[in-house]
Amino acid sequence: MSQGITNRVAKSLATLLLAVMMNAPVQAEVLTLPQDGAEPVTLSLSDSMLATDRPSELLEIYVDAEKPCCAGRTPIAGRYTQTGDTLTFSPAFGFEPDQDYVARIRTAHGEELIPFSIRSAVEKVPASVTDIYPSGATLPENTLRFYIHFSVPMTPHVAFDYINLRDASGAADEVAFMRFKQELWNKDRTRLTVLVDPGRIKREVATNVELGPALLAGQTYTLTVDGGWPAADGTSVLPAFTKVFRVSEALRELPDTRLWTANAPCAGTQEPLTITFDRPFDRHLLTRALRVEDKSARDIRGTIEVGDGERTWSFTPSRRWPSDDLLLVVNPALEDVAGNNFHDLLDHVAGAQEGTTTSTETPISFGNCGG
């Protein structure tokens, strides 16, 4: 059977079903609904229709559900055409997939409301946790934040109904995280920033003294995201997800590029430059806080990859490396996972940092790659 015949059969069945829904015989008013967003709505006219020369008095299309409809609401804009006993309505901007609509049909005996929607041709992606950063299996005692990435936009204002920090016994720390009135989402609500209460991190602060650190070196913890959290569009709910990690000693020294190591790519190639850090850094700051300059202080374009628990940074140039040495330049606002940047420690003893300087630049020399 050809595709065209198959489509006509499908439309005929849809037409017959709608006629039954309207409690009318097939020979009477029949509505044919679109199968995709570009198709029109078609109404077969009969003697029982209102006597009018205004098509909108016979057929109107509204956005949203069947009830309540349609007093005080504006029908969607479009173009009417009539050929013989067939009235066609084509929306000005097409019908949107997965949007609810209702067709309002008027006859001499009253009106009928027919709900419909266009099924999306794109398969829906179910809600899931795709990544949690820091991604390492071992994190410092004073880790400041977690980033939770989702496959789809999530329902806001309910995050801490589902997110918990649990110790090795499974007990939840109900006050481990900051709970802001406005949750820390990115623009499309696919990444949530979860901030450990800094008062649990900073020594000699009242919260730390009273409750102790949220994380203790030598212990194992689990960051849990419980199942049941609905996606923003309501089409799926999140399955449970866990991240288990062990805790190491706190990071309480300023970052310093002199503690980093760099490979030696070959001049004239597009081999990646890979930097290995002495500690894990903030995953999202790493994508924009480092740059590579040539000898004229011009940025070299390329692509970045972050790996090994945010302890490595790789840069592949868009063009071949020049023959002269390079300079890796770091934005001093780059933070490690404990919130320490190149100027300040998140948790420090007063006066301990006075006169302390760290490097934010690293020269890169090419290796001896001769044959």
Maximum alpha-carbon separation in the chain: 94
Amino acid at 216: L
User: Measuring CA to CA, which residue among 121, 18, 102 is closest to residue 60?
Assistant: 102
pLDDT of 159 over the 90 cut: yes
- Decide: helix, strand or coil at residue 105: strand
pLDDT tens figures, 175-226: 999 999 999 999 999 999 999 999 999 998 888 889 999 999 999 999 999 9
Query: Rounded to whole angstroms, what are the CA distances from 38 to 90, 212, 319, 365?
Result: 8, 61, 44, 59
Tens-place pLDDT, residues 292-305: 999 899 999 999 99
At 233, list the tokens.
């569009």
Rg (CA), the chain: 31
Task: Show Cβ contacts of residue 98 under 8 Å, excluding neighbours closer than 6 positions.
Answer: 117, 118, 119, 120
Cis peptide leading into 69, omega within 30 of 0?
no
Domains and their CATH numbers in the chain = 3-117 (2.60.40), 129-248 (2.60.40.1220), 257-364 (2.60.40.1220)
Query: Mean pLDDT, to the nearest integer, of 341-347?
Result: 93
329 vs 299: CA distance, rounded Å? 10
Peptide bond into 68 cis (omega under 30): yes
Asked if residue 151 has pLDDT above 70, the reply is: yes
Tokens matching residue 104? 């309002």
18 touches 32 (CB < 8 A): yes
Predicted local confidence at residue 5, as pLDDT: 34
Matching residue, tokens 């496959």: 151
pLDDT of amino acid 192: 98
Which of the residue ranges 119-133, 208-222, 334-348 would you say has the lowest mean pLDDT? 119-133
184 within 8 A of 190, measured Cβ to Cβ: no
Q: What is the pLDDT of residues 19-72, one digit of tens each?
A: 434 344 333 358 888 888 889 999 988 766 666 778 888 899 998 765 678 878
The region of weakest confidence among 115-124, 235-244, 301-310 is 115-124
